[in-house]
Amino acid sequence: MKQQLLKRTVLAAALLSLSAAVPLVAGAAGAADNASSSTSAKSSTMTQAKNELSSSDKKFVEKAAQGGVAEVEMGKLAAQKAQSAEVKQFGERMVKDHSAANDKLMKLASDKGVAASNEMDASTKREYDKLSKLSGAQFDQEYMKSMVSDHEKDVKEFQSEAKSAKDPDVKSFAENTLPTLEEHLKMAKSAEASVKREKTASK
């Protein structure tokens, strides 16, 4: 009888011990979940802070996106309307190079949370509309004049961003794109000079 009572006492003690341990385990699991959630939230916040651009870098990305779209659209116009073979080839080159650069820039903008526009700004749209009404030699002259002016501005802006960009990815984009823009400027000046010579020769 005593032996049976002892067994029951031991069993009861074991059950009490187990029931006390369960909340402890559950509490430990909950603490682990909370710690995991906290770490995840901190990681998300750090990633967001890392991706957030300074106002100057953001402005550069937005402006470069609009400029790139304009170069592509005007390049398409030149490929269709240009009289000079050199101007036509320049337009085709603009479409090819700036389309590739725009793809990279749009991905960069998306990664950094920047809503970059894929449309021309109002001023460039007016220039596009003006060019679209011209044809022949007159189109060639105005288009190349515009391209020289645009690329001179682009080169300066990309040179500045390549030196002073705070975000390393934006800085890398500016550095890698700059040589192409510098080449475009040389090509634009050459084509503009060629168009002027043709105009003089035709008189």
User: In this predicted model, what pLDDT tens digit does every residue of 161-184 receive, in sequence order?
Assistant: 999 999 999 999 999 999 999 999
Please check whether residue 90 is in contact with residue 187, taking contact to mean a CB–CB distance below 8 angstroms.
yes
Q: Say what the pLDDT of residue 203 is.
A: 65
Rounded to whole angstroms, how far apart are CA atoms 6 and 122? 93
Please check whether residue 36 is in contact with residue 69, taking contact to mean a CB–CB distance below 8 angstroms.
no
For residue range 62-83, what is the model confidence (pLDDT) as tens digits? 999 999 999 999 999 999 999 9
Element holding 42 (H helix, E strand): helix 2-51
User: Residue range 48-74: average pLDDT?
Assistant: 88
Q: Does the pLDDT value for residue 33 go beyond 60?
A: no
Residues 174 and 148 in one domain: yes
Q: Does the pLDDT value for residue 149 go beyond 70?
A: yes
Residues 124 and 141 in one domain: yes
Mean pLDDT of the residues in the chain: 83
User: What domain range is 35 assigned to?
Assistant: 1-51
The enclosing domain of 178 has a CATH number of: 1.20.1260.10
Residues 20 and 116 in one domain: no
Confidence of residue 192 (pLDDT cuts 50, 70, 90): very high
pTM: 0.73
Residues 90 and 158 in one domain: yes
Token couple for 167: 């975000």
Residues 196 and 110 in one domain: yes
Q: Say what the pLDDT of residue 164 is.
A: 96
Residues 71 and 4 in one domain: no
Backbone angles phi, psi at 54, to 5 degrees: -70, 165
Q: How far apart are the first and last CA of the chain?
A: 130
User: Residue range 98-103: average pLDDT?
Assistant: 96
Q: Say what the pLDDT of residue 5 is.
A: 45
Q: Does the pLDDT value for residue 99 go beyond 60?
A: yes
Least confident of 105-109, 151-155, 199-203: 199-203
